[in-house]
A and B are shown apart, each in its own frame.
Chain A
């Protein structure tokens, strides 16, 4: 972890992150539709990555079935909107409640009998796959044929969250910024300290009076609820949902790639990781299509994952921070550095 009260580094980190967001906002105003739709996905997966990051990076619980929560959020929004014309805002809230409860129940069931670590991770996959198959056989939610939102007219309607690609881009940007600020705030709050203590040594945290059982349930419920919010917006952006794509293993993997490549447990890691990985995936997909070689993107993704874990086990963002630390802020150049007595 970074030092907490190191003013210079802190400012530089926020400057770097903030300037990335400003650049992204400018891009949204100027860029081509293709770039905008690509970046929308990047930003949505930044947010989803943050929610996953919260669970493993701060809470210490590995989830490989985050698609379950994403899918529950997406289905809540889609079913209410497509079937009953209810505003997605309500769908998002409902999805967060449903996914949060599902996460809490899953966590309660597992931690009650000390299912942890790898077993918990496998339980999340099993739950996600089970849900995917059930939704695929459930006629009411469209079964395998999925659900389609009404075609966009291009007119911006905040209450129904309808609009053009640029509208969704800024929505995703706001969501990503919210995710980043939220993660930072959580990790600096009382809960952040408790959860990290629990992550690093549960026994020690318990002996200091941390009620690990309910804190683990809480962190998983919050992570699940935020994943559902991201899933709801993802459904709106895509305009349609299918159980295999919104609840499949592939989505769970996509969610974790951003934070892993960018930097586990860091605030900006998921953004940096998504910015690196998703365009690469699309690029290799396009290359594969044009060469008529399917599977190139999958190979590229796999190689990147292995190489990152091999050579940059902390991810890209901590590496950037390390480089930035060697650069001094200008103010330090003018003032003579007072030497501390002990040095």
Chain B
């Protein structure tokens, strides 16, 4: 019994790291641009499909597929921002929401048109390899996804903290007008930010492609999941995204063990409602939005 619980907790934590990466993409976009990307789940699903096709066409390891997803989704996000999103950055929140709901319908429709509704399992041998660490046995797919996600989160954090671009990005997030005054190229920063956010979602999607079959309908779940994660952690907060991801991952794992399958997704929502009510800005949330 104990080992079952430990296993469930461990797999929850591992998946939670990947959720953290998904949420990080959302939170970076919100933190810098004050835009809520309601099409984030679709971007995760793009990543899942990229993982599926990369493995299927070229038989590459998942890590390579994730790198491909990062590049493709960065370019996608960059141009989406430069061509469309930038027009809505200074509009009220509900307009942004509606634009992104529109984009999310557009993307999921496009996925349906392109790939049809059937789930496509990524043929990866990783899922069958397991590692045993005393009490817990973990499958390689999860372990690899979590390790990569954790590494990326750390690298991205370090990059934003220490690089000159990271500094200007944080400056733009703190004070847009001030950034413009001192000559920051705000439109480019915004486009890159959106690209990074989309790339985070895409990489996370590619990493979990061995665990979740590629399917257009997954998108809504991932969008909601990313939202839950960042709200639990605090919208716009870096460490909050990570903590939120871990909490949601563990909550999901525990719920899967304790409740009927149909009810298991309710626990993260209950957690979210509790957090919103008792700690409205999340655990690491900024005071002023």
Contact = CB atoms under 8 A, between A and B. Distances in A.
Contacts of A313: 91, 95
Interface stretch (A23-31, A122-130, A177-185): A122-130
B270 interface: yes
Nearest to A64: B97
Contact of B260 (A110, A137, A296, A299): A137
B276 A301 contact: no
A137 B105 contact: no
Interface of B: 36, 84, 87-88, 91, 93-95, 97-99, 101-113, 116-117, 216, 220, 224, 227-228, 231, 235, 259-260, 262-263, 265-266, 269-270, 272-273, 276-278, 280-281, 289
Contacts of A110: 276-277, 280
- The 5 A-B residue pairs with the shortest CB-CB distance, nearest first, are A295-B112, A302-B106, A305-B102, A298-B109, A302-B105
A306 interface: yes
Contacts of B224: 125, 129, 249
Contact of B102 (A123, A130, A133, A309): A309
Contacts of B106: 298-299, 302-303, 306
B101 A305 contact: yes
Contacts of B102: 301-306, 309
A299 B266 contact: no
Nearest to B216: A295
Contact of A109 (B84, B97, B104, B277): B277
Nearest to A144: B262
Q: Say whether chain B's binding surface is mostly helix, strand, loop, or mixed.
A: helix
Question: Which of A62, A119, A136 has the most chain B CB atoms closer than 10 A to its own CB?
Answer: A119
Given A134-B263, A296-B109, A126 B116 contact: no
Interface of A: 56, 62, 64, 109-110, 113-115, 117-119, 121-123, 125-127, 129-130, 133-134, 136-137, 143-144, 249, 253, 256, 260, 264, 293-306, 309-310, 313
B40 to A, nearest CB: 13
B280 A115 contact: yes
Given A119-B280, A143-B262, A298-B105, 20 more contacts: A109-B277, A110-B280, A115-B280, A118-B36, A122-B231, A126-B273, A127-B273, A130-B273, A137-B266, A144-B262, A256-B98, A260-B98, A294-B113, A294-B116, A295-B109, A299-B105, A299-B113, A301-B105, A303-B102, A313-B95
B177 to A, nearest CB: 21
A300 B105 CA distance: 8
A133 B88 CA distance: 33
Contact of A115 (B111, B266, B269, B276): B276
A302 B273 contact: no
Contacts of A297: 109
Question: Which of B91, B103, B112 has the most chain A CB atoms closer than 10 A to its own CB?
Answer: B112
B111 to A, nearest CB: 7
18 contacts: A114-B280, A123-B273, A137-B260, A137-B266, A144-B262, A253-B105, A256-B98, A294-B112, A295-B108, A295-B110, A296-B109, A298-B109, A298-B112, A301-B109, A302-B106, A302-B109, A309-B95, A309-B99
Contacts of A121: 93-94, 97
Contact of A299 (B110, B117, B259, B281): B110
Contacts of B272: 126
A62 B101 CA distance: 14
A133 B255 CA distance: 13
Contact of B276 (A122, A134, A137): A122
Nearest to B36: A118
Contact of B107 (A134, A136, A302): A302
Contacts of A249: 220, 224
B280 A305 contact: no
Contacts of A302: 101-107, 109
A305 B84 CA distance: 13
Nearest to A301: B105
A127 B272 CA distance: 9
A134 to B, nearest CB: 6
B108 A305 contact: no
Nearest to B34: A118
A297 B95 CA distance: 21
Nearest to A121: B97
B276 A126 contact: yes
A114 B279 CA distance: 10
Nearest to B264: A133
A62 B117 contact: no
B100 to A, nearest CB: 9
